[in-house]
Structure 1
Amino acid sequence: MTPFTIAVSSCALFRQENGETALGVAYPLVKALKMVNQSMSEMDPTVEEWFKIVVIPTNMDHFKKSVENYNLKIEIACEKPILEHLEEIKPILFLSTNAQNVREAISAGYGAATMFQQDYDEHSDEELRVAFDGDGVLFSDESEKVTAKKGLEAFCQNERDKEDTSLALGPLSMFFKALVQLQKSHKKSPIRTYLVTSRGTTSPGIRALKTLKENNLEINEAFFLCGAHKGPVLKAINPHIFFDDQKKHVALQNRVIGAHVPYGVRNK
């Protein structure tokens, strides 16, 4: 099996504190992905790694020293323009603290998100937990366009009218598909996925679930919050990463690691 490539900028993996290098906000996810590799290889020794992690350096000399200090066994890409990196390695996900690089990646058709260097709670070492917003992340922004143009009432009517019509998939769907594939390949897969969306439980929620089902995408848990604050739910889940297309939802609420997906009408 060809491994799924995850690209991480060194500025997300490490941060500067009082002149010293510390582990950055992307480290819990990278650590969890490596745990998945180890766990899955024990179940299936024929596959060396399920996720290939490639770190794209922003400062090569400083980065190599940081990797050595933390004894991280990861592949290091050479320095070149970001889109050249992505075209070469073709990742299913690219993470960076550089918002411009992430926007370029999204525009080029890659699943990507901007991370923010802040403090966060400790995470599970036994399970990879990934949480996704729906519209603009797992799904396209087609319904959000209705809201932006005509308002919430029109959105609700649109979802009632199209309850049986699947939404187009969004920019993080390839990463989600990879997680689902690994879960299905081994019943004891150490991966758990979550949908945390502002959609309600009636037609908007039903349409989201039908979209996942029709694409053979199983989610472990789904939270339909009807517009309520996402912080308490995310605090309880404590995912290694939560993806949302609105910055206000990914500001590390309650010390939860969030990543902004600059896609769709909300980011014009």
Structure 2
Amino acid sequence: MAATIQNDDVKQKDAGRAVVVAVTTRAVFESGAEDGDGEDVYGMGVAFPLLQALQRVNERLLEGNPAESLLFDVVLIATDSQQQQHSSRIISSTRHYGLEVSRFCFSGQEDFIESLLQNKVQLFLSTDRKEALQASQKGVLSALLDRQAAPSEQLRVVLCGDAVVRPDAGPAPPSRPAAQSFSAQLGEMRRRFGALDSPLSIVLLTSSGGGESAGAALRTLRSRGLSVDEAYCLAGAPRSPILSLLRPHFLLSEGAIGLED
């Protein structure tokens, strides 16, 4: 049975405005590792820089407006049975590293989707492709995390423009409405910052088609209230080289997709 524990160490976000992001504890902490000081806390996993980047965006938003309510609301979800048995260690590890996590969810593989829905998660991030696909099929926007940790100074998000350009190519994924809603919220956040020194960078990437496809994707995103910092049109070329340079924390489409696809 799924259980949710509120973190009283942090101020809870506005439920009506916050952008709820759930990350698996398996991605944030390494189960078999301890921190460098030998304390009884987990070592840092691949998603650790992501949480720091999300926290940095929140800090900058609050610097600009202390009453800001459009903030990232981070939820850690444990689907690994071993980590569930050490829930206190997960909580103490979060406190040890100073991570701003609002809630902890402990659920099995059979009911983690229930935890996502109950917490009104708008983006689910995992290193497990099966989990990401399961969540996406239930209408929760999901993405695979990059196993090569990206920098924490700036949250870097890559949007796959191909699904935006051809929304009617094949059946619509259940998570498409969630993807469109999340992009609008992301765009609203980005508008809070100037062109320079932004803690949030949004990049559009179109894999197929030429400049016209990229232009169509840009116009569609702008109509949803989202402007991007950079845009790349690959025209059929492999995207691995550009992704290795951009080093995004994750790549978003209107379904579940990974950086290695």
Q: Secondary structure at the match of 2:228?
A: coil
Answer whether contact 1:130 1:241 (CA < 8 A) is retained.
yes
Equivalent residue runs for 1:247-266 within 5 Å? 250-251=259-260
Asked if residue 107 in structure 1 is aligned to residue 122 in structure 2, the reply is: no
CA offsets, 1:164-222, max 9 Å, x none?
Answer: xxxx9665333322221012234365321001221232443333223223333212211
Judge which range, 193-202 or 179-188, deviates more: 179-188
In structure 2, stretches of 5+ residues that fail to align are: 1-13, 36-41
* TM-score (norm. length: structure 1): 0.71
CA deviations 1:98-156 (Å, max 9, x no partner) are: 3333222111111112336x3435x151x3221122234x567533x49xxxxxxxxxx
Contact 2:160 2:206 in 1 (8 A): yes
The equivalent position to 2:217 in structure 1, one of 208, 216, 237, is: 208
- Asked if the contact 1:139–1:171 (Cα under 8 Å) also holds between the matched residues in 2, the reply is no
Which segments of 5 or more consecutive residues in structure 1 lack a partner in the other structure?
147-167, 252-259, 261-268
Q: Distance in 1 between matches of 2:242 and 2:54?
A: 23
Residues 140 and 23 (structure 1), Cα distance of their counterparts in 2 relative to 1, 3 Å cut:
farther
CA–CA separation in structure 1 for the residues paired with 2:200 and 2:234? 23
- Note if contact 2:24-2:77 (Cα within 8 Å) is conserved in structure 1: yes
Residue in 1 that maps onto 2:124:
94
- 2:124 touches 2:143 (CA, 8 Å); kept in 1? yes
Counterpart contact for 2:161–2:205, Cα < 8 Å: yes
Deviation at 1:36, TM superposition (A): 0.7
1:40 aligns with 2:40: no
Residue identity matched to 2:90: F
Task: Judge conservation of contact 1:196–1:224 (CA < 8 Å) in 2.
Answer: yes
Please give the root-mean-square deviation of Cα atoms over the aligned residues, in Å: 3.1
Partner letter of residue 140 of structure 2? Answer: Y
Q: Pick one of 166, 180, 185 that aligns with 1:178.
A: 185
Q: Which moved more, 1:171-180 or 1:85-94?
A: 171-180
Please state if 1:120 is matched with 2:149.
Answer: yes
Q: Taking structure 2 as the reference length, what is the TM-score of the superposition? A: 0.73
Residue 119 to residue 223, structure 1, CA distance change in 2 (3 Å)? closer
CA contact (8 A) 2:161 2:204 kept: yes
How far apart, in 2, do the equivalents of 1:115 and 1:240 lie? 6
**CA–CA distance in 1 between the matches of 2:65 and 2:156?**
21
Aligned length: 225
Residue identity (%): 28
Structure 2 residue aligned with 1:26: 47
